[in-house]
Structure 1
Amino acid sequence: MLASLLRLCQPILALVVPRRGGSRVGKTRNKERHRQSGAVLLDSDYFADDATHTEKDFWRRFRMNKDLLMKIVFGIREYDHYFMFKQDCTSLWGFSSIQKCFAALRCFAYGATPDATDGYLCMAESTCSKTVYMFCRAIIAVFCGDYLRSSRADDTTRILA
């Protein structure tokens, strides 16, 4: 009898008792940042056939061409699964590897704080901070042998000339 009464009251209790907001007690509910709209905006600005910004604009903003960026993206995507485009536990798609690399590059290129990526890439400050950290680790691990070496005598004379 008591078990059947509890079963009947369970839906009512679910309506009366407020659920907690976020993933921990006392944490507010996560904001919906519309990650996909940030990815679409990034794609239409730089990577589409009729992109808003030209190759020259891309070079002026990031001091690299798109081919180098894509080499970096593919290299760190193979090294670290953090940069893979995947679904979370709620079946929502996360940030793409290009979005994550852009967030890190914007922080480096402009000296911007991680919370500055919220407006354009729709990325929270904590996610951007983690992305910058993981990006640095991946860059060092993947490209250390080719690019992060001590300078040789011929490099120094070429630079000084």
Structure 2
Amino acid sequence: MLANVIRLCQHPLAVSAPRRGGSRVGKAQNKDMHRQAGALLLDSEYFTDNATHMTKDFRRRFTNNELFMKIVFGLREYGTYFMCKKDCPGLWGFSSVQKYMAAMLCLAYEAPADATDDYLRMTESRCFETFTMFCRAAMQCWARLFEGAK
């Protein structure tokens, strides 16, 4: 998995800053993706006491909960990108868990970036940006753990 991260971090699109539309005359208004609904759905399916999916399902699909949350906390410590913040209109952005889950879906399952639209409520461009930031964070935070283990 680390080899995939290194390979993807060296891709020309990952090195350059993601291009975004931004505000400009004639640009269509951003569509409401209901980010909070995606966060609540994710939380109710995996992280509550009466979750839809059991712990063994989460472990089979991703990893154990402790390691998952340890990585999420490590990403939060890496930088402010993985922290949940308010945007200009005052709406809460994507949670740290949503961002990490989007990166893991792209990395582990080789899912395309637009596959996160329905489940995590994340657009393709935001998913690609999140994946790029995850690759950078993984290289900075955890690459030294695997340097000797080739």
Aligned residues: 129
Residue number in structure 1 paired with 2:147? 149
Q: Is the 8 A contact 1:79 1:142 kept in 2?
A: yes
Deviation at 1:145, TM superposition (A): 2.1
Contact 1:61 1:109 in 2 (8 A): no
Does 1 or 2 have the higher relative contact order (CA < 8 Å, sep 6+)? 2
1:24 counterpart residue number: 24
Cα distance, 1:23 vs structure 2: 2.3
**AA partner of residue 23 (structure 1):** S
Identical-residue share of aligned pairs (%): 59
Q: TM-score, normalised by structure 2?
A: 0.82
In the TM superposition, residue 60 of structure 1 has moved relative to its aligned partner by: 1.4
How far, CA to CA, are the matches of 2:51 and 2:149 in structure 1?
38
Q: Give secondary structure in 2 for the equivalent of 1:134.
A: helix
Structure 2: which 5+ residue stretches go unaligned? 1-21
Structure with larger Rg = 1
| Structure 2 Cα separation of the partners of residues 113 and 132 of structure 1 | 11
Please tell me the residue identity of whatever aligns with 2:59: W
1:77 Cα deviation (Å)? 0.5
The offset of 1:25, in angstroms, is 1.7
Q: Does 1:50 align with 2:67?
A: no
1:95-140, Cα deviation, whole Å (9 max, x unpaired): 0001000000111121100100000000000000000000011111
Cα distance in 2 for residues equivalent to 1:121 and 1:109? 16
AA at the equivalent of 2:37: S
2:71 equivalent in structure 1 = 72
Q: Work out the CA distance in 2 between the residues paired with 1:78 and 1:151.
A: 25
Name the structure with the higher helix share: 1
